[in-house]
Structures are given as structure tokens and as C-alpha cells.
Amino acid sequence: MNPGNQQKGTTHMNTPAIAVHGLRKSYGGKVVLDDVDLTVNAGTVTALLGPNGAGKTTTVHILSTLVRPDGGTAFVNGCDVVRDHGGVRAAIGLTGQFSAVDKLLTGEENLLLMARLRHLGAKRSKTRVVELLEQFDLVDAARKPLATYSGGMQRRLDLAMTLVATPSVIFLDEPTTGLDPRSRHTMWDIVRGLVADGTTVLLTTQYLDEADELADRIAVLDGGRIVADGTPDELKRLVPGGHIRLRFADAAALDTAARLLDESDRDDAGLVLTVPSDGGVGALRTVLDRLDAADVEVDDLSIHTPDLDDVFFALTGRADTKGTAS
């Protein structure tokens, strides 16, 4: 349990921590956010998934009061992001905003500075900094200047800085972009720990696997519009493409199997049959039972469940999030 959870008492599991309706933003003549709706329940993780230029950072900046929307409404912890900057800022933490941390100071000094800026008091500041250094695996690096930190360590310190005052809602704008696989997993564990402690997280990402790993809900943002919103499983169900792939030893077995499984697609050269399926055990058992009953042996079998790449392709007509720079 995070010992600094006092501020979290104001949110309840049933009240959305973030409620966005009809949000609009343009820069010059360019529409960047076009009627965006988004609800994030307290104590959950929502991933805002989208390619470069989709409007992710703009959304996060509006929600953290750094950018003023042109239209629509947005509430964080019940506070209006336009009318109640103070209320919103007291509830949130935003990573990325501390890229101006003092690189000549040590990690510990930076954290202490932030704690004092947040009016924590000398004694409480010290204990909070010790807690954070441990939580973020920065004890060994605590007394070293930030200039010597690796990318992963800096990202962890960044997040620790935002958590000094135990915000109830945190925004993570692409928290793992540029990190190696091990640092990504460390960051994922940290996010899971925060959520277990009751923090609400809105994270933006270009990575489908990250959204799938962490998020209770995923909102797909493309060209300033939410093109899909649901649990990872709901999004996957939107997409056809699940199938069982069976390979046989010879043409005779393939023939018999193709007759038994009438919905299947056959590839004579590869001796392969592809059977549409939701990827579940029940469907697999039905297929294997039918083949068994006719004494048809399967040489090789694989199951393909639709993943978020398939979802993105189905929703936006593009295979992935790359190559769509703004």
C-alpha cells in the first residue's frame, strides 16, 4: 500500500476520474481533436492508442490544463479543466513535464526539491523521497548526478517526481518510447503497482502490445477522432481473422478434412486447411473431434487469435501505427 494515499479518498470507483465530451481543438486551420469522448473510471488504466499526430499529447495537455480546448467539456476528478485549473492540478501528475530537471543535481536532490515545491515539509519530504527511491529502484543511483542516468533511469525518476505528492490521476505520455525491453517491463510493473494502489492512469502509446498488457480499456485515436473504445477483448472481437490452421501429411487427409470442415479454406500446395474460429478451446475441440471420428491425423496445428494489430488494421485500414507521421 502506498503510504501517501490521503488524496485519493475523493475519488470513488463509480465516478469517472476523467470525463471528456465533444472535445475539440484546432491549430490554425488544422483540426487536431474532432469531437472526442472519453471516460476513465477511477482506479483503472486507459490507453489512448494512436499513431504519430493522432492527437494523444494534445488530449493529455488539455486534461492537465496546459492547453485550452476550443470546445467540449473535460473533467478530471470532478474538476473542469478550463474553469478549475487549481482543482485539476492538485489531483494530477504528468510525466514529461520535468524534462527540465536539473541534470547537475542528483536524483535524490531533484526529488527533494520537488517535495519542497509541493509543500511536503522537511520531514515528510525526506521520508517520501526514501520511499520513492526504493519503489523506483533508484537507491544506488540516488547520490549520482542526473547527467549520468540511463534513459530508463531518467524515465523512472521522471515518474517518481510526478508521484511525490501522491496524485490520484496520472497521465503518462508514451512512457516507454525509446526504452529497451527490460526497462519497458520495469515501467509496466510500476504502472501496475500504481493501479493496485488505487491510482487512475491515462497513458498514451503507439504500441499495441503495451495497451494490451496494461489497459482495462483502450481508446483508439486516429486523426483526432476516437475510432474505437472498449476492453482489449471487446476490440479484438470487432475483428475477424481468428482461425485454426491445420497441416496434413498428405493430399488424401487434406481432402477428407476439407469435406468434414465445410467452412474452411484449403491450400493444396501447403497441405494446409484454415478454419475460421474464435480461438477458444471449445471450437478447437469440435474441429479435432470431427477429424478424430474420421481417423484423419493432423500433422501440425496452430491457433491465431486476433491481436490489436488486426484491430488497428480493421479500424483504420492501416496495418500498424508506423509510417503515418503527421
Ligand X SMILES: Nc1ncnc2c1ncn2[C@@H]1O[C@H](COP(=O)(O)OP(=O)(O)OP(=O)(O)O)[C@@H](O)[C@H]1O
- Using CB under 6 A, count the residues that bind ligand X: 12
Least gap, CB of 68 to ligand X (angstroms) = 11
When CB distances are held under 5 to 8 angstroms depending on the partner's kind, the choice from ligand X, Mg ion, none that residue 50 binds is ligand X
Stretch that binds ligand X, among 55-63, 83-91, 102-110, 157-165 (CB under 6 A): 55-63
Residue 186 as a binder of ligand X (CB under 6 A): the answer is no
Q: Which of residues 53-92 bind Mg ion (CB under 5 A)?
A: 56-57
Least gap, CB of 61 to Mg ion (angstroms) = 9
- Using CB under 5 A, count the residues that bind Mg ion: 2
Residue 32 as a binder of ligand X (CB under 6 A): the answer is yes
Q: How far apart are the first and last CA of the chain?
A: 42
Q: Over the chain, what HEC string results? A: CCCCCHHHHHCCCCCEEEEEEEEEEEECCEEEEEEEEEEEECCCEEEEECCCCCCHHHHHHHHCCCCCCCEEEEEECCEECCCCHHHHHHHEEECCCCCCCCCCCEHHHHHHHHHHHCCCCHHHHHHHHHHHHHHCCCCCCCCCEHHHCCHHHHHHHHHHHHCCCCCCEEEEECCCCCCCHHHHHHHHHHHHHHHHCCCEEEEEECCHHHHHHHCCEEEEEECCEEEEEECHHHHHHCCCCCEEEEECCCHHHHHHHHHHCCCCEEECCCCEEEEECCCCHHHHHHHHHHHHHCCCCCCEEEEECCCHHHHHHHHHCCCCCCCCCC
When CB distances are held under 5 to 8 angstroms depending on the partner's kind, the choice from Mg ion, ligand X, none that residue 243 binds is none
Least gap, CB of 127 to ligand X (angstroms) = 36
Among 10, 39, 53, 315, binds ligand X (CB under 6 A): 53
Q: Of 61 and 236, which has the nearer Cβ to Mg ion?
A: 61
When CB distances are held under 5 to 8 angstroms depending on the partner's kind, the choice from Mg ion, ligand X, none that residue 55 binds is ligand X
Q: Of 55 and 175, which has the nearer Cβ to ligand X?
A: 55
Q: Which of residues 8-27 bind ligand X (CB under 6 A)?
A: 27
When CB distances are held under 5 to 8 angstroms depending on the partner's kind, the choice from ligand X, Mg ion, none that residue 72 binds is none
Least gap, CB of 53 to ligand X (angstroms) = 4
How many Å apart are CA 175 and CA 323, to the nearest integer? 21
Least gap, CB of 210 to ligand X (angstroms) = 13
Residue 206 as a binder of Mg ion (CB under 5 A): the answer is no
Which residues here bind Mg ion, judged by CB under 5 A? Answer: 56-57
Which residues here bind ligand X, judged by CB under 6 A? Answer: 27, 32, 50, 52-58, 206, 326
